């Protein structure tokens, strides 16, 4: 089995790479920091191909699929994990930075899906995993662009799952809440000290990685992690009120 994981140099992407390698999968690892990927790949016993790529370059994103398949054969699981997050006042974010975020978080995954889907449909097998966020269900103040990009990816993923229900291609949408990664730490540090920040349920990259592999094998439609956040999908009005009411303010710059 061959999995392509974007954003594989740290955090959740690195944890998934380690977990999938331990399970015997061949891997294509994609991230900007090729040297970090090379060091990670050297730890694995399974075939691993490394691609240094900035997915905000959408043409380069398209090339990743062909390069991956040429190196290790058909892709059995495409995992759209790479992401950019800004936790700061929206008015201070330039057009260039906001557009880069949308390219990495939404447009690049759509390009990758478009490139890999025809061969999966032809084989009538394969899985596409889209790492969205709880922010795509319950938007958090101070994360305007991130919220929008993850909501867009979730909407695309959920609709594609229904569209392809009889095709043999499985679509898995993942909704992480806070997970202890460098991105999550930076986001948490952007808010003023507050009981809600200190006590919010938080998961681990390793726990998330195990659920993603299990979801692929069991053809799960969606994953919420930590699991308590799954309630938000059914109580959107209430969960949004809680978020709006108790979200701490951003730190003053």
- pTM for this one? 0.87
Pairwise CA distance, residues 42 & 28, whole Å: 13
Pairwise CA distance, residues 34 & 63, whole Å: 16
Q: Which among 173, 120, 128, 125 has a CA at the least distance from the CA of 151?
A: 173
* pLDDT tens-digit readout, 178-233: 887 776 656 555 555 555 556 677 889 999 999 999 999 999 999 998 887 777 67
100 versus 195: the higher-pLDDT residue is 100
146 is known as an active-site residue: yes
Domains of the chain: 2-246 (3.40.50.720)
* pLDDT tens-digit readout, 4-26: 999 999 999 999 999 999 999 99
- Residue 75 pLDDT more than 80? yes
Q: What is the pLDDT of residue 140?
A: 84
Q: One of 146, 175, 225, 229 is an active-site residue; which one?
A: 146
Q: What is the pLDDT of residue 83?
A: 93
Is the backbone of residue 75 left (phi > 0), alpha (psi -120 to 50) or beta? beta
Within 10 Å of residue 230's Cβ, how many Cβ atoms?
Answer: 16
Q: What is the pLDDT of residue 193?
A: 57
């Amino acid at each position: 089995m061959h999995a392509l994981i974007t954003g594989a140099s740290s955090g959740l992407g690195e944890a998934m790479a380690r977990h999938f390698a331990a399970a015997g999968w061949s891997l294509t690892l994609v991230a900007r920091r090729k040297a970090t990927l090379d060091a990670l790949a050297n730890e694995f016993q399974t075939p691993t191909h490394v691609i240094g790529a900035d997915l905000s370059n959408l043409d380069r994103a398209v090339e990743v699929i062909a390069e991956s398949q040429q190196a290790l054969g058909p892709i059995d699981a495409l995992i759209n994990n790479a992401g950019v997050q800004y936790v700061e006042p929206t008015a201070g974010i330039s057009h260039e930075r906001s557009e880069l975020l949308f390219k990495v978080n939404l447009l690049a995954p759509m390009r990758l899906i478009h490139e890999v889907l025809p061969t999966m449909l032809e084989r009538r097998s394969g899985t596409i995993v889209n790492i969205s966020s709880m922010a795509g269900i319950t938007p958090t103040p101070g994360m305007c662009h991130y919220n929008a990009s993850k909501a867009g990816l979730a909407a695309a993923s959920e609709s594609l799952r229904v569209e392809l229900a009889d095709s043999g291609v499985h679509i898995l949408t993942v909704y992480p809440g806070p997970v202890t990664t460098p991105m999550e730490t930076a986001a948490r540090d952007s808010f003023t000290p507050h009981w809600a920040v200190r006590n919010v349920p938080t998961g681990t990259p390793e726990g998330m990685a195990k659920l993603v592999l299990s979801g692929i094998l069991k053809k799960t439609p969606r994953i919420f992690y930590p699991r308590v956040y799954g309630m938000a999908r059914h109580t959107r009005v209430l969960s949004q009120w809680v978020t709006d009411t108790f979200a701490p303010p951003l730190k003053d710059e």
